Amino acid sequence: MAIFKEMDANENLYAIVFGESIFNDAIGIVMYETVKSMGLDPSQTPSQQVMGAIGKFMLIFIGSVVIGAMTALIASFMQKRQSTYHSSSDKVTERKHGQEEEISTEISMILMCPWVCYLIADGLELSGIVAILTNGIVLNYYGTPNVNEQSRQVIKMTVESLAYTTETMVFIFLGIGVFTSSDKYTKVSWGTLFWALVNLNIARYLNVWVTSWICNMYRTE
């Protein structure tokens, strides 16, 4: 992603690779939790365990998407109603005060909505990451038009700063974990790590290629 930014790569290519990488991480976590729960009931046959894992995965994924979309739609509707109410005010002083209050409310709502969405999904034992991703997509599509320009600038700077800080912290913790783990290679062999990396790169190449091909088929320009 950093290389794409420096090279000023095509916006569609950046969006495809970025979206694929994020959803890969989210789906990978859901798959890990699903597979980890397999084999806990010895009375089930392997086929029953596989079907149960598929059903659990679909339930978690679809439920998380619904929660993320619904919370974003509710927040967008509240923003729309608020902006309509303040713009219809008759007095100039009330309108000015309402606009200042509206900016604070918009910023707080945009920043708090994904967090609330994550808490709801996590409380229902669903995937908070998938819910946040869906929430961000829907909120950007329906909520952004209801936010004024001043709020957009503040939200953009805040989100970019938080994203950069948290991304740096993740890589720091990953680097520390490699050298502080006491049994890092006792359960996983080097061959497993090698083939996992090979399969991940092949899957990423196929995902990006197929998605780009579909986008080019329906491109209007």
pLDDT in tens, 2-26: 666 667 777 777 777 777 677 776 6
* Structure token pair of residue 159: 């989100």
Mean pLDDT of the 87-105 span: 57
Structurally, the chain folds into a number of domains equal to 1
Q: Please check whether residue 104 lies inside any domain of the structure.
A: yes
At 94, the pLDDT band (50, 70, 90 cuts) reads very low
* Structure token pair of residue 142: 């329906």
In the Cβ-directed half-sphere of 66, how many Cα atoms lie within 13 Å?
Answer: 8
Q: Please check whether residue 78 lies inside any domain of the structure.
A: yes
Q: Which residue has the higher pLDDT, 95 or 167?
A: 167
Say whether pLDDT at 82 is over 80. Answer: no
At 67, the pLDDT band (50, 70, 90 cuts) reads very high
Mean pLDDT of the 173-201 span: 74
At 109, the pLDDT band (50, 70, 90 cuts) reads confident
List CB contacts of 136: < 8 A, sequence separation 6 or more: 68, 72, 114
Report percent pLDDT > 90 for the chain. 3
Q: Which residue has the higher pLDDT, 209 or 87?
A: 209
- Contact criterion met (CB below 8 Å) for 107 and 164: no
Q: Is 220 helix (H, G, I), strand (E, B) or coil?
A: coil
Q: Please check whether residue 11 lies inside any domain of the structure.
A: yes
Cα–Cα distance, 89 to 47 (Å, whole number): 64
At 66, the pLDDT band (50, 70, 90 cuts) reads very high
Q: Please check whether residue 203 lies inside any domain of the structure.
A: no
Say whether pLDDT at 63 is over 80. Answer: yes
- What's the pLDDT at 193? 77
Print the domain residue range for 126: 2-148
Which has the closest alpha carbon to 74: 30, 19, 120?
120
Q: Please check whether residue 153 lies inside any domain of the structure.
A: no
Q: Please check whether residue 197 lies inside any domain of the structure.
A: no
Average pLDDT, the chain: 76
